[in-house]
Amino acid sequence: MSNKMWGGRFATGPDAIMEEINASIDYDKRFHTQDIAGSKAHAEMLAKVGILTQEDKDAIISGLDQVHDEIAAGTFTFSRALEDIHMNVEARLKEIIGEPAGRLHTARSRNDQVATDFKLYVRDCIDTFVTQIQTLQLAMVERAEEHADSVMPGFTHLQSAQPVTFGHHMMAYVEMLGRDVGRFQDARKRLNESPLGSAALAGTSFPIDREMTAEALGFDRPTANSLDAVSDRDFVLETLSAASLCAMHLSRLSEELVIWSTAQFRFVRLSDKFSTGSSIMPQKRNPDAAELIRAKIGRITGALVSLMTVMKGLPLAYSKDMQEDKEVSFDAFDSLSLSLAAMTGMIKDLQVNKDAMSDAAGAGFATATDLADWLVREANVPFRDAHHITGSAVARAEEKGCDLAGLTIEDFKEIDQRIDARVFKVLTVEDSVKSRTSFGGTSPANVKTAAAIWRDRLTSA
């Protein structure tokens, strides 16, 4: 039997293997809300320009509402023989209202229909991501305010470098996530043009009103070129790119949580809600949530590479290859949403071990730069000379098995006579972080100011 939705061109139905490779309903059924919204806007427009009668339009709108309710209630039967969400909705609409259902597809194609559905879906995902990211940012701001003066080691090359505060560290991720929000919002602005009415690729001869459908669906304007409209997946690629960067930031923080929660660091303790045990080692507390978030970037970036590879060799306009855009994108977007939710939970429940962090902050001669800066500032020593003098002081402390604050004034005088007892005021980690008052620095006062600015931004957004 030929597929009735295709028309009379085919005498027989597809081979079972063809049906298997061709059907997309198993995953694009999640478009049902967007698909029905697009169809309702299209029907309203067709009636306004006189292509549909008011009676047919009312029947179509009522029927589409019933289809939506059936899908929402879980009573709708999806058919793989009907390939996709568009044909499934139209077929059920015909069962409900009869002949008027066949008029709905006037002046549109599945090509512009799926592009519209996908844009609406991606737009909804972006709005969700922005809300989730800002919720995570606010949780980090709260931890930053709580730990604005909690000293911890700052690392370069994962080696102790200079003391910072835990609050400053949290605020670094707030800044990263702020850029992620900006990228998602920027992508949203670019995608917010309606493909509906572009039809298969060349537009339509019917006197449609594309501005009306664009406005009804919350788009800023209709797309300007029908060929581009139906063949464009830049909006998905750009959103996947933003998602990949966001996932990378979550992965970096996850890596730190994994390291910090080890017995060797003991900087933080993840709550029982986000930890698991071992089947054989009773003492274990595994940071599985953080590890899984760390791994999610593989799936998310994989989706970006996958779709980029699909699109790179396609001529205009639509090709069936583009059906491969959805599964990977759905999986990537689901993965990012889950990762953001899990990270927010971990940050909110995180127990911070201030004593362990403070002890570690003083290790590895973390205040060496403070000594060099003091020499420049108080003894008028050129920085390169101060760097050399400080290196000698570090070597002396290593010989004596102490930190820089443990050296005597005599030790310092032997290294350089210009050093006096005032130097001991800059050699503690607490004094070090307090001194970092330059804009963007780690001083507790700076952290509190930055946190207050972000709190105001996030709560007034």
pLDDT at 123: 98
Identify the pLDDT of residue 307.
97
CA gyration radius for the chain? 30
Q: Tokens 């994994």 label which residue? A: 258
Give the pLDDT score at 248. 98
Cβ-Cβ contacts under 8 Å for 180 (sequence gap 6 or more):
133, 242, 245, 246, 249
Residue 424's Cβ-side half-sphere holds a number of Cα atoms within 13 Å equal to 11
pLDDT of residue 282: 63
Looking at residue 45, its pLDDT comes to 98
For every residue of 357-423, DSSP letters joined together read HHHHHTTTSTTHHHHHHHHHHHH---HHHHHHHHHHHHHHHHHHTS-GGGS-HHHHHHH-TT--GGG
- pLDDT value at position 402? 87
Tokens of 194: 């309606």
Cα(392)–Cα(101) distance, integer angstroms: 86
Is residue 40 a contact partner of residue 63, using CB atoms and an 8 Å limit?
no
Which tens digit of pLDDT belongs to each residue from 368-398? Answer: 888 898 899 888 999 999 999 999 999 999 9
Per-residue pLDDT reduced to its tens digit, 400-410: 998 888 899 99
Q: Report the distance separating Cα 415 and Cα 204, nearest Å.
A: 85
318, 319, 324, 329 alpha-carbon torsion, rounded to 10°: -20
Give the integer Cα–Cα distance in Å for 332 and 136: 19
User: Checking DSSP bridges between strand 268-269 and strand 351-352, what pairing results, if any?
Assistant: antiparallel
Kindly give the parts of the chain with pLDDT less than 70: 1-14, 278-279, 282, 461
- 163 beta partners: 153
> In the prediction, which pLDDT does 311 show?
96
Average pLDDT of every residue of the chain: 92
**Residue 10, both tokens:** 């085919």
Predicted local confidence at residue 1, as pLDDT: 35
Q: Which pLDDT value is given to residue 13?
A: 62
Q: Looking at residue 314, what DSSP letter applies? A: P
Using DSSP, state whether 428 is helix, strand or coil. coil
**H helices, E strands: number in the chain:** 18, 6
All structural domains of the chain, each given as residue ranges with its CATH number in brackets, are 16-103 (1.10.275.10), 110-148+156-205+224-360 (1.20.200.10), 364-427 (1.10.40.30)
Catalytic residues: 157, 278
